[in-house]
Amino acid sequence: MKILITGGAGFIGSNFVYYMLKKHPDYDLVCLDALTYAGNLKTLDEALKNERFTFVKGDIADRELVFELFAKEQFDIVVNFAAESHVDRSIEDPGIFLKTNILGTQTLMDACRKYGIKRYHQVSTDEVYGDLPLDRPDLFFTEETPIHTSSPYSASKASADLLVQAYHRTFGLPITISRCSNNYGPYHFPEKLIPLMIANALNDKPLPVYGEGLNVRDWLYVEDHCKAIDMIIHDGKVGEVYNIGGHNEKTNIYIVKKILELLGKSEDLITFVTDRKGHDLRYAIDPTKIKNDLGWEPDTMFDDGIVKTVNWYLENREWWETILRGEYQNYYEKMYGKRDII
């Protein structure tokens, strides 16, 4: 079996590379990644030592490169993680989100049509469902929840999903789609809530919480997401959407306080800042379908996962400090320098 993993130098893609190398000792994996600001070849150091793993630098929207790669490798399965993934960046500059997330997806699927594959899997997000009210804890996203997006990021992911479904219906492309809740764990880029708060706390810098910190996210340890995708590409039904989530809803302020507690740092570091534009209130996944149809359930509970994650950042300072020293400094100044403290 030969699998193309796009975006494998990013957070979830790299965790998936390691998960698959371990789980399937007879599979060959090829990673196609453009190494944008979010991609990091250092993350794949160990994988690169494995002869069953190949890395190719390139853009999923580069038709010539993608078609050449498909012609050469004749993939069985494609798992598309490659994306612009940060909501705040999509509010600053939507264009690249449309190019990568929509046109990149189209390019990959066109190559799949031309060269033939057993499965194209689109890694999507619960954000395509929009948000849920804070005062209705009885409501959850199911696979039937209408698409209703808030940010340029989620709109680009939803557009890609619709295109994937259209390629299935129109061209018979054997697709599956997964929509997962918020992931956390090793190799999470420090622009996102959990790693940003860990890094700032360790550096005794203010922890910028948007609004009142009452928005709710449904956190899943990244390895459990990888396990779900592995199950879907092998046993999932062609044409289907699967929601992935472990019923682990937390307010942002709970997460931030938990991180401070684990690191033994003062809550005085918390700084409430101007809210995100169009900020989604609450995400909450109903994972009944993937549980019933594929037998998936999460292995790592939040209280263990957050300790493992904090320890990973403590033990791998070089990985994230290198990021903080680079171009990311300009990003941080641009995004947080102009936010008022409230």
List the catalytic residues: 126-127, 153
Q: Does 274 bind ligand NAD (CB under 6 A)?
A: no
Q: Applying CB under 6 A, which of residues 145, 149, 178, 181 lies at the interface with ligand DAU? A: 181
Q: Does 38 bind ligand NAD (CB under 6 A)?
A: yes
Q: Does 178 bind ligand DAU (CB under 6 A)?
A: no
Residues 6+ apart with CB under 8 A from 278: 91, 150, 151
Q: Applying CB under 6 A, which of residues 9, 47, 87, 229 lies at the interface with ligand DAU? A: 87
Residue 331 Cβ, how far from ligand NAD at the closest point, in Å?
13
Secondary structure of residue 29 in the 3-state scheme: strand
Q: Does 252 bind ligand DAU (CB under 6 A)?
A: yes
> 293 is written with which tokens?
């149809």
Helix (H) or strand (E) holding 16: helix 11-23
> 2 is written with which tokens?
């030969």
Helix (H) or strand (E) holding 123: strand 119-125
Residues 229/119, Cβ–Cβ less than 8 Å: no
Q: Which is nearer to ligand NAD, 198 or 269 (CB)?
A: 198
**Burial letters for 50-60: b for 16+ Cβ neighbours within 10 Å, e otherwise?**
eeebbbbebbb
Distance CA 4, CA 136 (A): 40
Select the binding partner of residue 44 from ligand NAD, ligand DAU, none (C-beta < 5 to 8 A, by kind). Answer: none
Q: Does 290 bind ligand NAD (CB under 6 A)?
A: no
Q: Which is nearer to ligand NAD, 173 or 193 (CB)?
A: 193
Total residues at interface with ligand NAD (CB under 6 A): 30
Q: Where are the beta strands (DSSP E) in 172-283?
A: 175-180, 183-184, 207-210, 216-218, 220-221, 241-244, 249-251, 270-273
Q: Does 188 bind ligand DAU (CB under 6 A)?
A: no
Q: Does 196 bind ligand NAD (CB under 6 A)?
A: no
Q: Does 150 bind ligand NAD (CB under 6 A)?
A: no
Judged by CB under 6 A, the chain residues 262 through 281 that form the site for ligand DAU are 276
Total residues at interface with ligand DAU (CB under 6 A): 19
**Burial letters for 135-168: b for 16+ Cβ neighbours within 10 Å, e otherwise?**
eeeeebbebebeeebbbbbbbbbbbbbebbbebb
Q: Which is nearer to ligand DAU, 58 or 213 (CB)?
A: 213
Query: Which positions lie near ligand DAU, rule CB under 6 A?
Result: 85-87, 125-127, 181-182, 192-193, 196, 208-210, 215, 217, 252, 276, 283
Query: Which positions lie near ligand NAD, rule CB under 6 A?
Result: 6-7, 9-13, 33-36, 38-39, 59-61, 81-85, 100, 104, 123, 125, 157, 180, 182-183, 189
